[in-house]
Amino acid sequence: MQAGYNQLSGQYDQARNAINTNYGNASNLYAPLVASTGAGANAYGNASGANGAAGLQTAMNDFHNSGQYGNYGFSLQQGLQALDRTHAAAGNLASGNADTDTLNYATGLANNTYNSYLSGLQPYLGANQAATAGAAGVQTGQGNALAGTDILQGNAANTTQTGIGASNAAATMNNYNVGSNILGAITGIGGLALGGLGAAGGVGGLSGGLSNLFGNFTGGANGGTASNPLPGLTAADYGNGAGLFDQFGVA
């Protein structure tokens, strides 16, 4: 029974190794996804101001180094040149209206470009949440799978130990019953000898009866046992029944 459990235990170990390997592979797939989307989500936090003034300054630096800022510079240059030509043709290039138009155009273009940059980062929020949830699901699945194997192995161990205990108890009870039966047989023999007391002439008849009865077991020796014979005797002098008396301490 224990050998069967030991074999089963080895199979549970193999199952746990397989769980750790497979879930580990899945976790490795999520790791770079979590990292990349996390960087985008953090950039969105900076650009939106959610990460504070330091984050916003980092976002400005990132924006200036982005391709969108390069497009903004080109669009700004082209737009301002167009405004200049328009005001020059109207003869009011040096007027206050020309300055206002220039400021409005530059501000509007900057806002639109930056908002476009911010919108481009926003999807990383959802992507990072999904990637993180997926990675957490892998870890949760691994934990549940390992817990399941531990529970099954624990139940198997409990069943094995319960069976071993029941088997040992049955063996002990069987030994007790055998000993009880042998003791009953000896008691019965004594009863037969006592029953013959009156018919055999009192104590003298009993002594002779017991001598005749136990002589068949002891080989005629009077006193001692096969394991502890009287001086001048050997175990052979105690006959085939000597082991029975040794077992129950009968001298």
The pLDDT assigned to 97 comes to 75
Burial of 108 (0-12, 13-18, 19+ CB in 10 A): exposed
Mean pLDDT of 129-138: 90
Domain segments of the chain as ranges: 2-167, 196-248
Q: What is the DSSP string of 83-123?
A: HHHHHHHHT-TTSHHHHHHHHHHHHHHHHHHHHHHHHHHTH
Whether 165 has a pLDDT exceeding 60, the answer reads: yes
Q: Model confidence at 29, in pLDDT bands (50, 70, 90)?
A: confident
pLDDT confidence of 239, banded at 50, 70, 90?
A: low
> Would you place residue 246 in the very low, low, confident or very high pLDDT band (cuts 50, 70, 90)?
low
Rounded-to-integer distance, Cα 225 and Cα 242, Å: 7
CA distances from 190 to 197, 200, 222, 237, 249 (A): 11, 15, 17, 22, 15
Q: Which of 29-43, 78-92, 221-235 is predicted most confidently?
A: 29-43
Tokens, residue 77 = 């240059």
Q: Going by C-beta distance under 8 Å and a sequence separation of 6 or more, which residues neighbour residue 55?
A: 45, 46, 49
Residue 249 or residue 232, greater confidence: 232
Percent of residues, the chain, with pLDDT higher than 90: 16
Q: Are 125 and 41 in contact (CB under 8 A)?
A: yes
- pLDDT tens-digit series, residues 59-115: 999 988 888 888 888 888 888 888 778 877 777 777 777 778 888 888 888 888 899
Other Cβ atoms less than 10 A from the Cβ of 224: the count is: 18
Quote the pLDDT of residue 241: 54
For residue 243, the model assigns a pLDDT of: 53
pLDDT at 218 over 50: no
CA distance 79 to 81: 5
H-only helix segments in the chain? 2-48, 52-64, 67-90, 96-121, 123-195, 202-218, 242-248
Give the total residue count for the chain: 251
0.75 exceeded by pTM: no
